[in-house]
Amino acid sequence: LKLGNLYPFIGKAGTKKSIVAQMIALKAAIEGSTVIYFNMEMSAVELFRRTALRLLDLDIYDGIRKGTISEPDLDGIQNKLKDFLSNNFYQVDNSDLTTDEFSSVIEDIEEKNNEKVKLVVVDSMNSMRTIGGSEVMTAFENTKKLKEIAKLHNVAVIMVTHVNAACPLHYRDTSLYARGGQKIMDNCDAWFSISKCIDRDNSR
């Protein structure tokens, strides 16, 4: 991923878009890059659980059910994750945000830590503030502004993007069904179409 570029991850629910974006973000943080993850769809607890599962091979829900993890243990797990990520991973748990608010967070973190932010993940673009009451207008304007943020702050931006209901689960070029229409592709530098292969021998 190049600094200054905008990359949508486009696919249906259940095709693991967020998990792919999270893994890229975690890997970047472990390797020393400052990362901001705008978590706009799942709960903070769920993202914490997924991070612990991937980095520590620890299922928090399962541990609580079995009694091997208690509430006081959670702080220790969180500190272990911060150490693992070298304190480079910043999580913002809000929906209905604007691109101006994204910019403010980037500037605050860079100023506070005297470190350049290298990667921003927006999960998902469809949970950003609606513009003009139109889904198409919202998607087009928000992708345009996210591209401006990528250029202004010289940061790589991943935005998780949903598709409309007509998109088949196994269809390869999911960009054709992007929520908000094809015009959002004009604002992007490249995109990742994510789908499920339902028949390895015959699926096109």
Rounded mean pLDDT of 2-23? 95
pTM equals 0.91
pLDDT, tens digit (0-9, with 9 covering 90-100), for 54-112: 999 999 999 999 999 998 999 999 999 999 999 999 999 988 888 999 999 999 999 99
| Number of other residues whose CB lies within 10 A of the CB of residue 8 | 30
> In angstroms, rounded to a whole number, what is the distance separating the alpha carbons of residues 176 and 182?
6
pLDDT, tens digit (0-9, with 9 covering 90-100), for 163-197: 999 999 888 899 999 988 888 898 999 999 999 87
Residues 6+ apart with CB under 8 A from 4: 150, 151, 154, 155, 156
